[in-house]
Amino acid sequence: MAELRAGRARAGKRRLVDWFAARLGFELDAFQSEAIEHLVEGRSVLVAAPTGSGKTVVAKFAVHLALASSARAAYTSPLKALSNEKFRELCEELSAEEVGLLTGDVSIRPGARVLVMTTEVLRNMLYEGDPLVDELSHVILDEIHYLQDPERGSTWEEVILMLPERIRLVCLSATISNTAEFVSWLRRVRGEVECVLQTVRPVPLEVLYCYEDPRSDHTVLRRLWAKGSRSKPNPALVKALSDGRYRRNRYALTPHRLDVIRRLEEEGLTPAIYFLFSRKGCEQAAASAVRAGLPGVHRGVRAEIERTALEAVQGLTDPELEALRFGEFLDGLMRGVAAHHGGMVHQFKEVVEKLFARGLLKVVFATETLSLGIDMPARSVVLESFYKFDGHSQKLLTPAEFTQLSGRAGRRGKDEIGYAVVLHSPWLPLDHVVFTARSTRFRLDSSFNPGYNMVVNMIRKYPDREAAYEILGRSYAAFRSSRAGGSKGSTRGQALIERFEKYEAVLSKLGYLQGRWELGEKGMTLCGIYSVRDVAFVEWISSGAPEGLDLPLMAGVVSGFVSDDAGPERRGAAHFRRRSLGSHADNAERVVDSVRGIEADVFGRPVTALPDFAFAPLVMGWVRRKDPEALLGGLADPGDIIRHIRRVIDLARQAGESTGARRFLELASELDVGIVSSVVPHE
């Protein structure tokens, strides 16, 4: 590593490019060279390119550029799991002492020169005036298209608007259709920004349509497109699907999952990612494939599979492995099959990703989370259904989602063509498949929206109301509206201000403000609380309710403040609350209800959700017994349980640091042990 630092230090900016390229071991693509040239010239860049095209090469050069100038770099990502993965990757590429990790619940080497963090952590630093920001020269905003995420997208705009203009941004995005509009906004708020657009996939994509031929009992794969076309369906496919003999039996043409896998094997289209939009479906599909003996791996690689799996879980105890049913998981791996979804613990997902990347797994049944930033290309991907549940109802895949999923098809340097295989469904017209697969880009919208935490932090940061309103007016939301039409743009900007003032009015009624533009004690506490029920949580703390609670009871109530609607089955939650949390849960609900009543007066409806105590039994049990079987042996997925407890840890630490109450910090330490602690990187 000393040689690495010496080489970097010897190189001027121009020579740094040659030095960096030589270390890569492959020739830079034209779009990568262009983006790197802009960085050398001191400009910010937006790199919009398909999945798997190598956007992170540009980000890594920005890191070296910052280090060569004795500055710091921040690498942000939207998800803690992606931050953890990037942290490990950069530790291997640089040196461990040069890389730190900040994700709210984890802080490793916060003084390092390269800091990997979630976007929320950087936003919090900017609001708090952290002096570390003064040392940054480059900030990488990975997966910047998360800017349109309804719940968290505002964070990206806040960061872009608040970062000092001297700091260069490296924005990495999927291909979007309104790139020019987005870059125009970036230039307005950030100065000199160049757009590097790559529309060509690194590996060409062929879309195949899979159906069962009842006459021959064969599973058939046909090209979706007519020869030489990317808009017209294959005439032979249209003819096969329109055979009137199969109209009486809607499912006559629908292939069986195991037959599809056999067909992929016969055609040499493995390793394959088989997308299912159900965690339970992924687990059942993997188990079914194992029972059927599909697809199978050579005996020679089984030892490597076992060794890799055992290395990944060496930090877990035997009782923890038993609770996680590691034996069943390993049995599937040894047969070349695995599931991959957000409900799995990190160690299991990591070993699946490693084995698949080495070509040691044949089929991975995965939910769409695998398509988000994880480097796991395949020979082919399979889309069994175009319908997915979005938390409220079944909806069809959008062109953007199809592009994201199919982006995993094709391994650079290994495959000349990647394949996306769409399975026949009697409920989905072929024309819709053609339309969805034809569209390759999506429009990037804004989800910028004020909230309680944004309001108090703006009051703390900016000298007056006009300065805060200027930030709202410079948002991407206001910019898009102004381009759509003067009056409409003015209306959108005014709507943001009106919403800001409504949150401010609620805070004023609750006693968070002193005067018209000054925070009281509760307002200062709220500045450090970043949670879906932020103001309600501060109200609960301020009511004195936590005083006198033992740690298990405190854990149970705090759990209710971090839960969201995407929790596990909650049928027993109300009974448990009455039996074990009792009046403490009732008190928390009364506090939240009082907030919701004021919100109804101001907004016309409540905007803060009631507490959700679905996970409270598990969190309280973990504080009391530290029993992995009791924690992981229920209905909820292990990954969800551990992720929830880590959110409780994060909120407890925020409360402890914001109020000075040591009990919250003690609670965080009490929870952060065993398997809950093992899922995050350590120094």
pLDDT at 568 exceeding the cut of 50: no
Structure confidence at residue 566 (pLDDT): 39
- Express each pLDDT in 237-246 by its tens digit: 998 888 766 5
Question: Residue 465 contacts by C-beta under 8 Å, 6 or more apart in sequence?
Answer: 516, 517
Residue 301 has φ and ψ, to the nearest 5°, of -100, -5
- The residue among 55, 75, 54, 76 whose CA lies nearest residue 66 is 75
Copy the structure tokens of residue 58.
């540009």
Structure confidence at residue 570 (pLDDT): 44
Residues 472-501 have a mean pLDDT of 82
Structure confidence at residue 241 (pLDDT): 87
Q: What is the DSSP letter of 289?
A: H
pLDDT at 12 exceeding the cut of 80: no
Report the alpha-carbon distance of residue 592 to residue 328 in Å, rounded: 43
Report the alpha-carbon distance of residue 610 to residue 589 in Å, rounded: 7
DSSP 3-state helix, strand, coil percentages of the chain (rounded to 5)? 55, 15, 35
Q: Is the peptide bond before 295 cis (omega within 30 degrees of 0)?
A: yes
- Name the pLDDT band for 682 (thresholds 50, 70, 90): low
- The residue among 595, 227, 112, 209 whose CA lies nearest residue 430 is 209
Could you write out the DSSP letters of every residue in 654-672?
A: HHHHHH--HHHHHHHHHHS
Residue 247 has φ and ψ, to the nearest 5°, of -70, -30
pTM for this predicted structure: 0.89
In one-letter notation, the amino acid at residue 211 is Y
Structure confidence at residue 321 (pLDDT): 95
Residue whose entry in the numeric block shows the structure tokens 């020679």: 300
Report the alpha-carbon distance of residue 568 to residue 463 in Å, rounded: 44
User: Dihedral sign, CA of 171, 447, 541, 564?
Assistant: negative
Question: Residue 519 contacts by C-beta under 8 Å, 6 or more apart in sequence?
Answer: 456, 459, 460, 512, 513, 527
Structure confidence at residue 571 (pLDDT): 39
Burial class (CB in 10 A: 0-12, 13-18, 19+), 299: exposed
pLDDT at 11 exceeding the cut of 70: no
- Name the pLDDT band for 380 (thresholds 50, 70, 90): very high
- Express each pLDDT in 650-677 by its tens digit: 999 999 999 999 999 999 999 999 999 9
Residue 8 has φ and ψ, to the nearest 5°, of -65, -40
- Name the pLDDT band for 642 (thresholds 50, 70, 90): very high
**Cβ 610 vs Cβ 592: under 8 Å:** yes
SS3 315: coil
Report the alpha-carbon distance of residue 204 to residue 410 in Å, rounded: 7
Copy the structure tokens of residue 384.
């069994």
Burial class (CB in 10 A: 0-12, 13-18, 19+), 132: middle
pLDDT at 456 exceeding the cut of 50: yes
- The residue among 674, 668, 677, 681 whose CA lies nearest residue 323 is 674
Mean pLDDT over each residue of the chain, to the nearest integer: 89
Residues 334-363 have a mean pLDDT of 92
In one-letter notation, the amino acid at residue 328 is E
- Express each pLDDT in 406-422 by its tens digit: 988 998 889 999 999 99
- Express each pLDDT in 134-183 by its tens digit: 999 999 999 898 898 888 889 999 999 999 999 999 999 887 889 999 99
Report the alpha-carbon distance of residue 562 to residue 649 in Å, rounded: 10
Could you write out the DSSP letters of every residue in 131-175?
A: GGGGGEEEEEETTGGGGG-TTTTHHHHHHHHHS-TTSEEEEEE--
Structure confidence at residue 565 (pLDDT): 46
Structure confidence at residue 569 (pLDDT): 39
Range picked from 95-104, 324-333, 560-569 for highest mean pLDDT: 324-333
SS3 519: strand
Residues across the chain: 683
For helices 486-509 and 452-461, give the axis angle rounded to 10 degrees: 90
Copy the structure tokens of residue 148.
């349109």
- The residue among 70, 133, 118, 56 whose CA lies nearest residue 98 is 70
Copy the structure tokens of residue 596.
């919701």
Structure confidence at residue 683 (pLDDT): 60
**Cβ 282 vs Cβ 339: under 8 Å:** yes
What is the distance, to the nearest Å, from the Cα of residue 678 to the centroid of all Cα atoms in its chain?
A: 20
From the DSSP assignment, how many helices (H) and strands (E) are in the chain? Answer: 31, 17
- Express each pLDDT in 487-543 by its tens digit: 555 677 789 999 999 999 999 999 999 988 999 999 999 999 999 999 999 999 999
- Name the pLDDT band for 78 (thresholds 50, 70, 90): confident
Other beta carbons within 10 angstroms of residue 261's beta carbon come to 26
pLDDT at 68 exceeding the cut of 50: yes
- Express each pLDDT in 210-264 by its tens digit: 999 888 889 999 999 998 888 889 999 998 888 766 555 667 789 999 999 999 9
Residues 430-450 have a mean pLDDT of 86
Residues 623-630 have a mean pLDDT of 94
Q: Which residue has the higher pLDDT, 293 or 525?
A: 525
Residues 597-625 have a mean pLDDT of 95
